[in-house]
Structure 1
Amino acid sequence: MAETNSSDTRILMFPWFAFGHMTPFLHLANKLARKGYRITFAAPRKAINQLEPLNLFPDFISFHPVTVPSVTGLPPGAETASDIPISLSRFLATAIDLTIDQLKSLIKSISPKLIIFDTAHWIPQVAKPLGIKTMCFKVVSASSIALVLVPARNIPTDRPVTVEDLASPPPGYPSSSVVLRGKELQTLLFVTNPFGDGLTFHERITMSMKNSDVLAMRTCHEVEGNLCDYIGSQYQKRILLTGPVLPEESKSTLEERWGNWLARFEPGSVVFCAFGSQIILEKTQFRELVLGFELTGLPFLMAVKPPAGTTTIEEALPEGFEERVKGRGVVWGGWVQQPLMLAHPSVGCFVNHCGFGSMWESLMSDCQIVLAPHLGDQILNTKLLADELEVAVEVKREENGWIPKENLSEAIKLVMDKDSEVGKLLKENHNKWREIINPKLVNEYVDKFVQSLHEVVG
Structure 2
Amino acid sequence: MSHKKEMALHIAMYPWLALGHFTSFLRIAINLAQHGHKISFFMPTKTSLQFTSHNLYPDLITFIPITLPPVDGLPSGCETTNDTPPEAWSCLMTAMDLTKDDIDLHFARLKPDFVFYDFAHWLPEIARKHKVKTVYYLVSYIVSIAYTCTPARKTPRGKLLTVEDLMCPPPGFPTPAIVQHPHEALIVAGACSLVWGGITLQERLTVCIEECDAIGVKTCRKLEGKYCEFVERSFGKPVLLAGPAIPRLSSDELESCIDSWLKGFDDKSVVYCALGSEFVLDKEQFQELVLGLELTGRPFLAALKPPIGFTTIESALPEGLEEKIKGKGIITSNWVQQKQILDHTSVGCFMTHCGSNSVSEALLSECQLVLMPQVVEQFIHARLLSMDLKVGIEVEKTSNGIYTRDAIHNAISIVMDTDIGNEVRNNHLKWKEIMQKEGLEDYYVSTFIQDLKHLIE
User: Which residue matches 1:207?
Assistant: 207
Q: Is the 8 A contact 2:107 2:130 kept in 1?
A: no
For residues 252-291 of structure 1, the aligned pairs below 5 Å read 252-291=252-291
Give the secondary structure class of the aligned counterpart of 2:194: coil
Amino acid at match of 1:433: W
The C-alpha deviation readout for 1:61-99, integer Å capped at 9, x for no partner, is: 111122223323333332212234545433322221111
TM-score, with length taken from structure 1: 0.94
Match of 1:52 in 2: 52
2-side partners of 1:160 and 1:430: how far apart? 37
Q: Show the counterpart of 2:431.
A: 433
- CA–CA distance in structure 1, aligned partners of residues 156 and 3 of structure 2: 50
SS across alignment from 1:335: coil
**Structure 1 residue 455 displacement after superposition:** 2.4
Is contact 2:245–2:360 with CA below 8 Å preserved after alignment? no
* TM-aligned CA distance change 1:336 to 1:49, over 3 Å: farther
Q: Distance in 2 between matches of 1:62 and 1:187?
A: 37
What is the CA RMSD across the aligned residues, in angstroms? 2.0
Shift in Å, 1:159: 7.6
- Whichever residue aligns with residue 121 of structure 1, its letter is H
Query: How far apart are 1:2 and its partner, in Å?
Result: 5.4
Q: Structure 1 pair 9/166, CA: closer, same or farther in 2 (3 Å)?
A: closer
Structure 1 residue identity aligned to 2:448: F
Q: For each residue in 1:277-309, what CA deviation from the matched residue of structure 2 results, as whole angstroms up to 9, or x when unmatched?
A: 221111222122111111111111111122111
Who is 1:424 aligned against? 422
**What SS is found at the alignment partner of 1:81?**
coil
The residue identity in structure 2 corresponding to 1:434 is K
Aligned length: 456
Say whether the 8 Å CA contact 1:93–1:195 is kept in structure 2. Answer: no
Matched letter for residue 153 of structure 1: R
- When residues 434 and 52 of structure 1 are mapped into structure 2, their CA distance, relative to the original with a 3 A threshold, is same
- Residues 119 and 204, structure 1, Cα contact 8 Å, conserved in 2: yes
One-letter amino acid matched to 2:447? K
Asked if the contact 2:163/2:182 (under 8 Å) is kept, the reply is no
Report matched runs for 1:28-427 at 5 Å.
Answer: 28-155=28-155, 162-417=162-417, 420-427=418-425
CA contact (8 A) 1:262 1:346 kept: yes
Per-residue CA shift, 1:116-166, capped at 9, x if unaligned?
A: 111111111101121111111111121110121332334467887642243
Partner SS, residue 219 of structure 2: coil
List alignment gaps of at least 5 residues for structure 1. Answer: none
CA distance in 1, matches of 2:150, 2:164: 18
Secondary structure of the residue that 2:244 maps to in structure 1? coil
Q: CA 1:168–1:272 in structure 2 vs 1: closer, same or farther (change >3 Å)?
A: closer
Q: Distance in 2 between matches of 1:93 and 1:108?
A: 23
Identify if the C-alpha distance between structure 1 residues 208 and 270 changes in structure 2 by more than 3 Å, giving closer, same or farther. Answer: same
Identity %: 41
- The answer to whether residue 452 in structure 2 is matched with residue 453 in structure 1 is yes
TM-score by structure 2 length? 0.94
Distance, in Å, in 2 between the alignment partners of 1:251 and 1:57 is: 17
* Residues 327-363 of structure 1: per-residue CA shift (max 9 Å, x gap): 1211110111111111111111111100111112111
Residues 177 and 388, structure 1, Cα contact 8 Å, conserved in 2: no
TM superposition shift of 1:188: 2.9
Structure 1 letter corresponding to 2:453 = H
Deviation at residue 109 of structure 1 after TM alignment: 2.5
SS in 2 for 1:82: coil
